[in-house]
Amino acid sequence: MCRRATFTVGHSEPDHLVPANTTSSYSFDVITELFDNLMTLTADGKAVPLAAESVTSDDQKVWTIKVRAGQKFHNGEPVTAQSFADGWNNAAYGPNAMGANSYFSSIKGYAEMNPEDEDAKPKADTLSGVEVVDPNTLKVTLNDPFSQFPLLLTYPAYAPMPKAGLKDLKAFDEHPIGNGPYMMDGNWERNKQIKLVAFPGYTGPRKPKNKGVTWKSYSSADTAYTDLRAGRIDVLQTIPAAKVPEAKRLLGDRFLARKMSTTDYLGFPLFDKRFDNPDLRKAISMVIDRQGINKAVYNGDYFPADSLIPSIIPGHRDNACGELCTYDPAKAKQLFAKAGGFKGTMELYFSNSQPTYAQWMRIVANSLRDNLGITDIQFRQVPASDYFSMLREHGEKGPYRQNWEADYPSPQNYLENMWGLDNRMGWENKEFNDLIAKANKTADQQQAMALYNQAEDIAVQEMPMIPLWTWAGQGGRSKNVDNVTITPFSTGLVATDVTVK
């Protein structure tokens, strides 16, 4: 290992470094290196113990968690079952207004900490479902049986908190004290960088193969890419789409392509009766030339959807969507006629956060016009800051773009969040919801997957939301580093494995 032995990664500025106060992947970049959760993900998305010795349950509702003894926080404080309970209670207590608060809603006692009336005082300030049995044992009771709970424990918000951090969360945000393989080297230098060095007291399985990593903040992805080419940074996880063809040519084997968990969808406002007929929705799906759009807009690098679940997620089945996700204008015309056509203006909604959204929406509009004879089409480009509040309030009057990135690699994370109770489209299907609930209770993962797949088949046949394509991740590394792995999950870059030349 050379004397330098540290490396630099470019990314966007995080919003917070308190694990429970963010859902930003840029924050996760840093948090997952500073903290060891009870469970972590393998390269293929399976949950395995990290700070835990074991996570077990007989009924999928009451879980016993054994915390590995002998772990320390970066300030020398011991990591115990109480450290995890403290972190989770801090996250789940409504008045703390933590960004990842809702990720604790499956634990018993969450409702008492988060009254529906925001002005009301919570009845409790700790989760009744989280019990510290002894220094190394937690007993967690959920509201309902949930077989995917070990995967949820990999989510960054489930990190432990030291007592020193809870005393002053504002100071902790500037200088987090974790239990992971790296510790802070000085405070967070806002809009500049966050320096991490290997933690000498680390006893876990993620021992760093380098001496440290600096996360450098960029407001422009183009500038970050220029700095990667010049060797001023060593890793960039996302190269701007317009620069990808050039990056492939210039970086050669240092160009890092990967599949991702993020999938784009076209949702329908089913509370508008004009979109009530599944045949209309299927017809629209079948006039979308996914492969053609992929080539025209995404350099042929994205992965046209053949399922509601991306291929890297357990439970994905090739061609689960079948002909309904295949470009077939002739069949689409038949379905469109069967549905009785479409009356009025077809309004297409998308945000302004990426120029590519407008590009592919134009191609979709042309296909609707040419193949289905829908001539009255209007584009509704909404500022990114207003887009999700518009969808939450059902402000859209036509099909809209949205995506989903896995919080953890399970089909449940897609199916229940996007198609389940309280979904954005206003779609209701009791059989679908019952199958999801049954799968959630099923301990045998193979049997659970079969039930999730049955639920997926129902959603495909009703098509309240059309799967379009799964994103491709395109990163790069400098000549100074080797062994660079970027996972498609919230873990992102595996910084501990990087070797510095």
Q: Are residue 361 and residue 328 in the same domain, yes or no?
A: yes
Residue 240 lies in a domain: no
Q: Are residue 164 and residue 282 in the same domain, yes or no?
A: no
Separation of alpha carbons 396 and 402, rounded Å: 12
Q: Are residue 441 and residue 489 in the same domain, yes or no?
A: no
Residue 238 lies in a domain: no
Separation of alpha carbons 446 and 314, rounded Å: 10
Three-state DSSP state, 488? coil
User: How much is the pLDDT for 1?
Assistant: 42
Separation of alpha carbons 389 and 387, rounded Å: 6
Distances 377 to 304, 329, 345, 380 between C-alpha atoms, Å: 24, 18, 6, 10
Q: Are residue 489 and residue 459 in the same domain, yes or no?
A: no
- Using a CB cutoff of 8 Å and minimum separation of 24, what contacts does 270-276 make? 270/425, 270/426, 270/427, 270/464, 271/394, 271/426, 272/397, 272/398, 274/342, 274/343, 274/344, 275/398, 275/399
Q: Is the separation of the CB atoms in 270 and 45 below 8 Å?
A: no
Q: Are residue 460 and residue 488 in the same domain, yes or no?
A: no
Helix H segments across 373-410? Answer: 384-392
Separation of alpha carbons 132 and 139, rounded Å: 6
Residue 457 lies in a domain: yes
Q: Are residue 82 and residue 211 in the same domain, yes or no?
A: yes
Residue 345 lies in a domain: yes
User: How much is the pLDDT for 4?
Assistant: 67
Q: Are residue 432 and residue 485 in the same domain, yes or no?
A: no
CATH number at residue 41: 3.40.190.10
Q: Are residue 489 and residue 450 in the same domain, yes or no?
A: no
DSSP designation for 125: S
Q: What is the pLDDT along the chain (501 residues), one digit of tens a residue?
A: 445 699 999 999 999 999 999 999 999 999 999 999 999 999 888 999 999 999 999 999 999 999 999 999 999 999 999 999 999 999 999 999 999 999 999 999 999 999 999 889 999 999 999 999 999 999 999 999 999 999 999 999 999 999 999 999 999 999 999 999 999 999 999 999 999 999 999 999 999 999 999 999 999 999 999 999 999 999 999 998 889 999 999 999 999 999 999 999 999 999 999 999 999 999 999 999 999 999 999 989 999 999 999 999 999 999 999 999 999 999 999 999 999 999 999 999 999 888 899 999 999 999 999 999 999 999 999 998 899 889 989 999 999 999 999 999 999 999 999 999 989 999 999 999 999 999 999 999 999 999 999 999 999 999 999 999 999 999 999 999 999 999 988 778 999 999 999
Q: Which residues of 139-157 are buried (b: 16+ CB within 10 A; e: fewer)?
A: ebebeebbbbbbbbbbbbb
Residue 10 lies in a domain: yes
Residue 134 lies in a domain: yes
470: CB partners within 8 A, 6+ apart: 259, 260, 261, 262, 263, 264, 302, 303, 305, 310, 311
Separation of alpha carbons 171 and 166, rounded Å: 10
Q: Where are the strands (E) in 352-451, listed by range?
A: 377-382, 400-404
* pTM: predicted TM-score of the whole model, two decimal places: 0.93
Q: Give the residue carrying structure tokens 């380098």.
A: 210
Q: Which residues of 173-195 are buried (b: 16+ CB within 10 A; e: fewer)?
A: bebbbbbbbbbbeeebeeeebbb
Separation of alpha carbons 356 and 353, rounded Å: 9
Residue 444 lies in a domain: yes
Q: Are residue 333 and residue 416 in the same domain, yes or no?
A: yes
Residue 203 lies in a domain: yes
Q: 345: domain range?
A: 261-472
The count of domains in the chain is 2
CATH number at residue 428: 3.10.105.10
Q: Are residue 300 and residue 389 in the same domain, yes or no?
A: yes
Q: Are residue 182 and residue 309 in the same domain, yes or no?
A: no
H or E stretch including 62? strand 62-67
Question: Distance between alpha carbon 243 and the CA centroid of its chain, in Å?
Answer: 24
The first and second tokens of residue 58, run together, are 């007989």
Q: Are residue 210 and residue 284 in the same domain, yes or no?
A: no
User: How much is the pLDDT for 353?
Assistant: 84
Separation of alpha carbons 470 and 482, rounded Å: 27
Q: Is the separation of the CB atoms in 100 and 21 below 8 Å?
A: yes
